[in-house]
Amino acid sequence: MNPHALPDLDAFWMPFTANRQFKAQPRLLVAAEGMHYTSHDGRQILDGVAGLWCVNAGHGRRPIVEAVQRQIAELDYAPTFNMGHPLPFEFARRLVEHTPGDLNHVFFTNSGSESVDTALKIALAYHRARGEGQRTRFIGRERGYHGVGFGGISVGGIASNRKYFGNLLSGIDHLPHTLLPENRFSRGLPEHGLQLADELERIVALHDASNIAAVIVEPVAGSAGVILPPKGYLQRLRQLCDKHGILLIFDEVITGFGRLGAPFAAQYFDVQPDMITSAKGLTNGCVPMGAVFVREHIHDAFMHGPEGLIELFHGYTYSGHPLACAAGLAALDIYQEEGLFTRAASLASPWEEALHALKSLPHVVDIRNLGLIGAVELAPKPGAAVTRAFEVFQRCYERGVLVRVTGDTLAFSPPLIIESGHIDQLFTTLRDVLQEMA
Ligand code: PXG
**262 located within any domain:** yes
324 and 223 in a common domain: yes
pLDDT of residue 3: 55
36 and 158 in a common domain: no
DSSP assignments along 339-371, one per residue: THHHHHHHHHHHHHHHHHTTTTSTTEEEEEEET
Find, among 300, 410, 308, the residue nearest to 82 by Cα. Answer: 308
Task: Please give the Cα distance from 100 to 296 (Å, whole number).
Answer: 12
CA of 83 to the centre of ligand 1 (A): 31
pLDDT of residue 300: 98
Question: pLDDT, tens digit, for every residue of 142-162?
Answer: 999 999 999 999 999 999 999
Contacts of 253 (CB under 8 A, 6+ apart): 53, 112, 115, 116, 147, 218, 277, 278, 279, 280, 290
**2 located within any domain:** no
Q: Which of 254, 260, 284 should be mutated for ligand 1, with most atoms under 8 A from CB?
A: 254
Atom 4 of ligand 1: nearest residue by CA position = 253
**5 located within any domain:** no
pLDDT of residue 4: 58
Q: Does the predicted model carry a pTM greater than 0.75?
A: yes
CB-side neighbour CA atoms (13 Å) of 233: 24
Q: Which of 16, 52, 160, 217 should be mutated for ligand 1, with most atoms under 8 A from CB?
A: 52
Q: Which of 320, 337, 354 is the last residue of a domain?
A: 337
166 and 141 in a common domain: yes
pLDDT of residue 140: 98
259 and 189 in a common domain: yes
Atom of ligand 1 nearest to the CA of 218: 3
CA of 56 to the centre of ligand 1 (A): 14
161 and 49 in a common domain: no
52 and 83 in a common domain: no
> Which residues does the chain have with pLDDT short of 50?
1
Three-state SS for 256-281 is CCCCCCCCCHHHHHCCCCCEEEECHH
Count of the separate structural domains present in the chain: 2
214 and 233 in a common domain: yes
Q: Quick check: CB of 404 below 6 Å from ligand 1?
A: yes
142 and 96 in a common domain: yes
pLDDT of residue 1: 47
**345 located within any domain:** yes
Task: Please give the Cα distance from 245 to 286 (Å, whole number).
Answer: 38
415 and 361 in a common domain: yes
Q: Quick check: CB of 112 below 6 Å from ligand 1?
A: yes
**11 located within any domain:** no
355 and 271 in a common domain: no
Eight-class DSSP state of 17: S
**CA-to-CA separations, 36 to 50, 175, 273, 303, in angstroms, rounded:** 9, 39, 35, 47
pLDDT of residue 5: 79
Q: Quick check: CB of 252 below 6 Å from ligand 1?
A: no
The CATH number for 251's domain is 3.40.640.10
CA of 111 to the centre of ligand 1 (A): 9
Domain that holds residue 429: 19-57+339-436
Task: Please give the Cα distance from 357 to 352 (Å, whole number).
Answer: 8
Task: Please give the Cα distance from 295 to 107 (Å, whole number).
Answer: 11
Q: 101, 294 in Cβ contact below 8 A? A: no
Question: pLDDT, tens digit, for every residue of 373-400?
Answer: 999 999 999 998 889 999 999 999 999 9
CB-side neighbour CA atoms (13 Å) of 330: 23
**4 located within any domain:** no
